[in-house]
Amino acid sequence: MAYNILILNGPNLNMLGTREPEIYGAQTLDDLENYCRESAATLGMKCTCFQSNLEGDLVGKIQTAAAEFDGIIINAAAYTHTSVAIHDAFKTCPLPFIEVHLSNVYAREEFRHKSLISSLAKGVLCGFGQMGYSLALQAMKEILNSRED
């Protein structure tokens, strides 16, 4: 059975393509989600994309993901740097997850250098634009293939 991956995008990523293309690229959220679905299909996987500006929506998806998905790829956007709730949700989530950022957060303001979820993630990708999502899908496939169960 093909792995089924949940891709979560956090607050303001619905604004992709409208502002700050020098930081986040010119693609819209629709473009990014199509790119993820194509990348997943190329790898023989399935993915479902979800974006929300609300912390509780993201927490809810993380809480219920294990019933339907094999892994999670998340760009928690600004909640990366602030959300104890998302950290706590991942702490009780049995699925492997990978943290992704479009921009290189370490080349930006200091408040973006701290992530409250990195310590729980299998790995973190930042600075590769939309390619980071494709790289995360490749890494997730390897992680799931090497599981022992």
Smallest separation (angstroms) from ligand CA2 to the CB of 110: 11
Provide the annotated active-site residues: 24, 101
Smallest separation (angstroms) from ligand CA2 to the CB of 29: 9
- The smaller minimum CB distance to ligand CA2, of residues 80 and 83, is found at 80
- Among the listed residues 34, 55, 40, the one whose alpha carbon sits nearest the alpha carbon of residue 5: 40
- Among the listed residues 78, 85, 140, the one whose alpha carbon sits nearest the alpha carbon of residue 112: 78
With beta carbons less than 8 A apart as the criterion, state whether 122 and 92 touch: no
Contacts with ligand CA2, residue ranges (CB under 6 A) = 12-13, 15-16, 18-20, 24, 75, 77-78, 80, 101-103, 105, 112
Smallest separation (angstroms) from ligand CA2 to the CB of 108: 7
DSSP state of 149: -
Rounded Cα distance, 36 and 44, in Å: 12
Burial of 16 (0-12, 13-18, 19+ CB in 10 A): buried
- The smaller minimum CB distance to ligand CA2, of residues 52 and 70, is found at 52
